């Protein structure tokens, strides 16, 4: 017959084993510099909830929008340091920090955010640039083509860009200058007031900003220069130590959700470009299409931007042949996804 002390000890052991069988929650933080109303913030918050759902609540991720933990230019290093466990940002805010990946921001004729997102993801997985090795890469996405929009003077030809001062940052600033405009780098949050106060005469931004940042209230003309088609490439990364500490089954869930969000983000960028175009037109904005002949002139004008990039990359040990090979891969992948977009009936946002 068991003594009372033996029974009591057995109960304690059972309780202990039961408690040990239930894993403690893994608590993480996610920082997105976009405001909470923006598609990217909504998507990153949904990503967090999807991770929580598929891990049955074992992982809990607190989402911070509006750069509450880290501003756009501090995201990557902040994640590496552990200020935030996960972060979402844009290559252009830290120009030169990710030189190999910045090839995706060159004027290579991206026709839509759906295409550019898939191209960025494909490029990363093929070439695996080591510049992201200090963190765990989650997924890439990219906005639609940066189009030229102005307040007073419509832009139909290269000559019309003379005297225009446009908001443009990163590699997009190089493109604006090559086309004949004056580039004015600034944060997206500063742009509305800059346009309103005539500090700049226009922007080189995707259509989604017409609604997402209310620029369609001020801008009157939008030139659909998608044939130049350079974009902003975005990334989501995780602190490497946190990633390595996750159980293998949890990591598997993350990877599954990451793969799905490449497509979700691609769709999201395309949808908000369409919404931006509709908002712009509802305010009386006019979309201007380039003729094939004019588009060819624009492509010739931005060739020096690509040449300069090739020269810059020679300093980090990549030959002109290697960079040209990568550009060829991007263009081929772009064409493949453009055909897929057309086959799926996904609309082009800048269509008249």
Predicted confidence band of residue 100 (pLDDT cuts 50, 70, 90): very high
pLDDT at 20 over 60: no
pLDDT digits (tens, 9 = 90+) for 70-95: 999 999 999 999 999 999 999 999 99
Q: How far apart are CA 29 and CA 80, in angstroms?
A: 13
Number of Cα atoms under 13 Å in the Cβ half of residue 162 = 3
Q: Which residues lie below 8 Å from residue 88, measured CB to CB, with a gap of 6+?
A: 30, 31, 32, 33, 34, 40, 44, 75, 234, 235, 236
pLDDT digits (tens, 9 = 90+) for 192-235: 999 999 999 999 999 999 999 999 999 999 999 999 989 999 99
Q: How far apart are CA 257 and CA 261, in angstroms?
A: 6
At residue 348, the pLDDT reads 84
Average pLDDT, the chain: 92
Reduced to 3 states (helix: H, G, I; strand: E, B; else coil), residue 101 is: helix
pLDDT at 9 over 80: no
Question: pLDDT > 70: what percent of the chain?
Answer: 93
Q: Which residues lie below 8 Å from residue 285, measured CB to CB, with a gap of 6+?
A: 149, 210, 216, 219, 220, 221, 222
At residue 164, the pLDDT reads 96
At residue 23, the pLDDT reads 52
Q: How far apart are CA 185 and CA 279, in angstroms?
A: 25
Q: How far apart are CA 335 and CA 301, in angstroms?
A: 22
pLDDT at 245 over 50: yes
Six-digit token string for 23: 């894993």
Q: How far apart are CA 32 and CA 68, in angstroms?
A: 8
pTM for this predicted structure: 0.89
**Residues 173 and 305 sit within 8 Å (Cβ to Cβ):** no
* Overall residue count recorded for the chain in this entry: 352
Return the closest-CA partner of residue 286 out of 188, 197, 155.
Answer: 155
Strand partners, 135: 239
Q: Which residues lie below 8 Å from residue 32, measured CB to CB, with a gap of 6+?
A: 40, 41, 44, 63, 64, 65, 66, 67, 87, 88
């Amino acid at each position: 017959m068991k003594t009372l002390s033996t029974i009591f000890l057995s109960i304690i052991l059972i309780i202990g084993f039961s408690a040990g069988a239930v894993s403690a929650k893994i608590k993480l933080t996610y920082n997105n510099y976009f405001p909470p109303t923006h598609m990217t913030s909504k998507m990153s918050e949904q990503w967090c909830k999807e991770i929580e759902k598929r891990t049955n609540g074992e992982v809990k991720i607190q989402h911070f929008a509006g750069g509450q933990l880290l501003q756009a230019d501090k995201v990557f290093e902040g994640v590496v340091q552990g200020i935030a466990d996960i972060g979402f940002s844009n290559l252009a805010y830290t120009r030169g920090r990710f030189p190999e990946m910045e090839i995706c921001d060159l004027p290579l004729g991206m026709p839509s955010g759906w295409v550019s997102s898939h191209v960025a993801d494909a490029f990363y997985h093929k070439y695996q640039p080591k510049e992201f090795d200090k963190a765990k890469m989650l997924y890439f996405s990219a906005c639609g083509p940066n189009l030229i929009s102005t307040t007073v003077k419509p832009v139909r030809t290269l000559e019309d860009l003379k005297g225009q001062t446009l908001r443009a940052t990163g590699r997009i600033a190089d493109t604006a200058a090559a086309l004949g405009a004056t580039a004015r780098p600034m944060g997206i949050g500063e742009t509305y007031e800059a346009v309103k106060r005539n500090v700049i005469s226009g922007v080189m931004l995707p259509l989604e900003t017409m609604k997402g940042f209310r620029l369609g209230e001020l801008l009157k003309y939008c030139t659909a220069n998608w044939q130049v088609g350079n974009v902003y490439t975005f990334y989501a990364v995780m602190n490497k130590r946190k990633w390595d500490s996750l159980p293998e089954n949890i990591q598997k869930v993350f990877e599954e959700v990451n793969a799905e969000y490449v497509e979700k983000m691609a769709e999201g960028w395309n949808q908000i470009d369409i919404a931006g175009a509709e908002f712009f037109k509802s305010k009386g904005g006019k979309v201007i299409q380039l003729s094939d002949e004019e588009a060819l002139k624009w492509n010739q004008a931005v060739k020096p931007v690509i040449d300069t990039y090739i020269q810059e990359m020679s300093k980090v040990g990549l030959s002109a042949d290697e960079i040209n090979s990568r550009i060829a891969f991007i263009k081929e992948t772009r064409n493949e996804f453009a055909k897929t977009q057309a086959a799926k009936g996904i609309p082009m946002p800048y269509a008249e």
